[in-house]
Amino acid sequence: MTTVTLVPGDGIGPEVSAATRRAVDALGGIEWDVQEAGVVAIEKFGDPLPKHVLDSIRTTGVALKGPVTTPVGSGFRSVNVALRRELDLFASVRPCRLYEGVPSAFDDVDLVVVRENTEDLYEGIEFEVGSRELAKLRGYLKYMHGYALAPDSGVSVKPLSVSATTAIVTYAFEYARRHRRRKVTLGHKANIMKFSDGVWLQTGEELATRYRDVGFEATQVDELAMWLAWAPDEHDVIVLPNLYGDIISDLAAGLVGGLGVAPGMNLGRDYAVFEPTHGSAPDIAGRNLANPIAMMLSAAAMLRHIGRAADGDRLERAVASVLASGEVRTADLRPHGSPAGTSDVADAVVAAIEDAP
Ligand code: NAD
């Protein structure tokens, strides 16, 4: 038995987690340490990310996590940002593969978006419009650089470091090598942001010279977005700083059937947290409407990560067979007949696991 921390999350989290847990339990071998985070934890413990959740992940080394709501303007920190920071989960990896039977404008998509998870505009260095701190910053910018910042601006700072870039780009190349991928594309906007994206581009180009067995190209991120919408099979592994990675990975999820089928993982040197790309979807929460497949595919990646590759493959094959048959589909996958519920998908995946040992 391997113990894995399970954070069901909130919104649709508990539903997709329960469905996924049933599928993983059908394979056997996993013991769950269930931990609450998000809105449920605020109600119970007054903290959306109580210390015992982190303690559990530090003990097990690995978590399967449902989505967690970030309450807007409540003063609570984002659980997702805090988790990534506390556990130094510097790499977000989002495979976007088109499965047979999933409606898409394309026939063949198999991309992996590798996103830097710790810095960039998401680092949280922010200056509120009208604040004393911002007034000081305006004074400094005027005095040191002659730059007149409009008095009604808000400011977010974008740091990109050589060390974080080295870690993520190295990870992307190693991933490409390990999975026999043909090319790494590095997205940037170094022509505009010379001192932040400039660091990213230059560091990436230097590292690429050490991986001559893997193809490499650097592309401006706006051009990359156009190419992905036009010819996604031109790309393979895509490495991006935090903000571009957030946007482009959702775009890539849209190429392969949407958020309901897009898995994800957050990886660090010591810990790993596997979670779907989607959020807590409050619009459909508690109604047995959510597609659990993104979370099931995240669980398949988790099983491979902990050395249970055969179980991970078996789970992915079961999910793929349910998608290919097209008989049990939640509403987001545009079913021909009446849409299936979250629990129907769990039933079908468990049956497929039991049918194909
Ligand atoms: P969302 O991903 O929750 O929802 C976007 C749209 O996709 C909605 O229409 C929703 O119904 C649909 N959708 C999402 N997942 C689905 C699924 N499994 N099956 C069917 N339809 C699905 O994005 P949002 O509305 O921008 O965010 C809601 C909350 O989730 C916010 O508080 C946000 O901060 C949080 N969030 C959390 C995570 C995370 O925990 N990793 C990620 C993204 C957003």
Three-state SS for the chain is: CEEEEEECCCCCHHHHHHHHHHHHHHHCCEEEEECCCCHHHHHHHCCCCCHHHHHHHHHHCEEEECCCCCCCCCCCCCHHHHHHHHCCCCEEEEEEECCCCCCCCCCCCEEEEEEECCCHHHHCCEECCCCHHHHHHHHHHHHHHCCCCCCCCCEECCCCCHHHHHHHHHHHHHHHHHCCCCEEEEEECCCCCCCCHHHHHHHHHHHHCCCCCCEEEEEEHHHHHHHHHHCHHHCCEEEECHHHHHHHHHHHHHHCCCHHHCCCEEECCCCEEECCCCCCCCCCCCCCCCCCHHHHHHHHHHHHHCCCHHHHHHHHHHHHHHHHHCCCCCHHHCCCCCCCCHHHHHHHHHHHHHHCC
* Residues comprising the chain, all counted: 357
What is the number of the ligand 1 atom nearest to the C-alpha of 290? Answer: 19
Is 222 a known active-site residue?
yes
Q: Ligand 1: which atom is nearest the Cα of residue 38?
A: 40
266, 280, 330, best to mutate for ligand 1 pocket (most atoms within 8 Å of CB): 280
The CA 237 to ligand 1 mean position distance, Å, reads 24
Report the pLDDT value the prediction gives residue 356, as an integer from 0 to 100.
79
Q: Is 244 a catalytic residue?
A: no
Q: What is the CA radius of gyration of the chain?
A: 21
State whether the beta carbon of 333 lies less than 6 angstroms from ligand 1: no
Whether 92 lines ligand 1, by a CB cut-off of 6 Å, is no
Return the pLDDT at 154. 94
CA of 205 to the centre of ligand 1 (A): 35
Residues 268, 270, 276, CA angle at the centre, nearest 5°?
Answer: 45
- Ligand 1 atom with minimal separation from the 292 CA: 18
- Tell me, what's the pLDDT at 272? 98
* Cα→Cα distances 330→10, 45, 188, 220, 254, Å: 19, 34, 36, 36, 16
- Pocket of ligand 1 contains residue 181 by CB under 6 Å: no
What local confidence, expressed as pLDDT, does residue 74 receive? Answer: 60
8 lines ligand 1 (CB under 6 A): no
Ligand 1 centroid, distance to 252 Cα (angstroms): 16
**Which ligand 1 atom sits nearest the alpha carbon of residue 278?**
2
Catalytic residue flag (residue 65): no
Tens of pLDDT along the chain (357 residues) come to 999 999 999 999 999 999 999 999 999 999 999 999 998 898 899 888 999 999 999 999 999 999 999 877 666 678 888 899 899 999 999 999 999 999 999 999 999 999 999 999 988 899 999 999 999 999 999 999 999 999 999 999 999 999 999 999 999 999 999 999 999 999 999 999 999 999 999 999 999 999 999 999 999 999 999 999 999 999 999 999 999 999 999 999 999 999 999 999 999 999 999 999 999 999 999 999 999 999 999 999 999 999 999 999 999 999 999 999 989 999 999 878 889 999 999 999 999 999 877
To the query of whether residue 189 is one of the catalytic residues in this protein, the response is yes
Residue 120 CA to residue 163 CA, distance in Å, equals: 13
Could you give the CA distance from residue 91 to residue 93 in angstroms, rounded to a whole number? 6
Q: Which of 251, 259, 295 to mutate to test the pocket of ligand 1 (most atoms within 8 A of CB)?
A: 259
Point out the catalytic residue in the list 47, 171, 189, 211.
189
Which amino acid residue places its CA nearest to atom 23 of ligand 1?
Answer: 279
